[in-house]
């Protein structure tokens, strides 16, 4: 019983994050609304960030800023990587939003199936 609790407590973070990732992935594939696709993409990315930060976590430790009276610090490297990844993610999102604005201007809709339908009609 003890070990099951340990397993759940030790891995709960991972599982919750995996659930986040899957919600994001489902939204990216299944939703037709382009804005929602991007939001889900962002959820997916955030899930990955959380995963990394969880990997860098350490029990009974403190933030990796060296100070008097502390000897145990969290792993700084995943945090550094995620700082970069967050900025990269937002740059991508910004381009995505700009594309949505242009798509809306060109088609008058931001639903993918509606847009594809318009293209189809035009070709015929």
Partner 1 sequence: MIDVVLNIVLLLFLLTMAVSILFIRHLMAMAMLFGLYSLLTAALFLVLDAPDVAFTEAAVGTGISTVLMLATLAITGIHKEKRPKIHLPALLLCTLVGGLLVVISLDLPPLGDEQSPALQGVAKHYLEKGKEETGVPNVVTAVLASYRGFDTLGEVAVIFTGGVCVLMLLGHWRQKPSVKVKNKIRITSR
Partner 2 sequence: MLMSLHLAVLPILLPMIGAPLAALLGRSSWAWWITLIISIGQLLCFVAMLPVVLGGQPLDYSMGGWAIPWGIAYRVDALSLFMGLLIAAIAVLTCVYAKHSLRTDVDHEKLPYAYCCMQLCVMGLLGMVLTADIFNLFVFLEISSLATYGLVSLGKDRRALLAAFRYLVTGTLGATLFLIGVGLAYTATGTLNLEDMAQKFATSPHQRTIQGAFAFIFAGLVLKIAIFPLHLWLPTVYRFAPSAVAVLLAATATKVALYVLVRCQFGLFGQAISASHYLAELLLVGGVLAMLYCSYLALKEDDFKGLLAYSSLAHLGYMLGGMGLLSAKGLSASLMQLFAHTLAKGGLFMLAGIMVLSAGTSKISQLTGLAGRSPLLFLALVICGLSLVGVPGTVGFVGKWQLLDAALTQGRFGLVLAILASSLMALAYVWKILETAYSNPQSNMQLTVKPGWLMPLSMWSLTLGCLYFGFFSQWPWQLAQHAATVLWGSS
Partner 3 sequence: MLLIVVIALILLTLALALARALLGPSLFDRILAVNMAGTKSVLLIALFAAWSGRMDLLDIALLYSLLNFLAVVAALRLIERGKHFAYLDKEEQ
Binding positions for partner 3, 58-87, rule CB under 8 A: 62-63, 65, 67, 69
> CB under 5 to 8 A by kind: which of partner 2, partner 3, partner 1, none does 112 bind?
partner 2
Integer-rounded Cα radius of gyration of the chain:
21
Residue 94's φ and ψ, nearest 5 degrees, are -60, -45
Rounded distance between C-alpha atoms, residue 37 and residue 22, angstroms: 13
Contacting partner 2 within 23-42 (CB under 8 A):
25, 28, 34, 37-38, 41
Q: Which is nearer to partner 2, 63 or 94 (CB)?
A: 94
Q: Least distance in Å: CB of 4 to partner 1? A: 12
CB of 59 to partner 1, least distance (A): 4
* Spatial contact of 12 and 39, defined as CB atoms under 8 Å apart: no
Distance of CA 118 to the CA centre of its chain: 31
Site string for partner 2, 61-90 (x = CB under 8 A): ----------------xx--x--xx--xx-
d(CA 100, CA 111): 10
């Amino acid at each position: 019983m003890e070990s099951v609790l340990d397993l759940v407590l030790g891995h709960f973070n991972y599982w919750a994050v995996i659930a986040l990732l899957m919600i994001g992935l489902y939204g990216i594939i299944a939703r037709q609304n382009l804005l929602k696709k991007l939001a889900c993409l962002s959820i997916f990315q955030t899930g990955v960030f959380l995963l990394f930060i969880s990997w860098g976590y350490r029990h009974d430790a403190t933030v990796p800023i060296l100070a008097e009276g502390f000897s145990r610090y969290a792993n700084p490297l995943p945090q550094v990587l995620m700082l970069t990844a967050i900025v990269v993610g937002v740059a991508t999102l910004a381009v995505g939003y700009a594309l949505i604005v242009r798509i809306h201007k060109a088609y008058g809709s931001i639903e993918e199936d509606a847009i594809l339908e318009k293209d189809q009609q035009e070709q015929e």
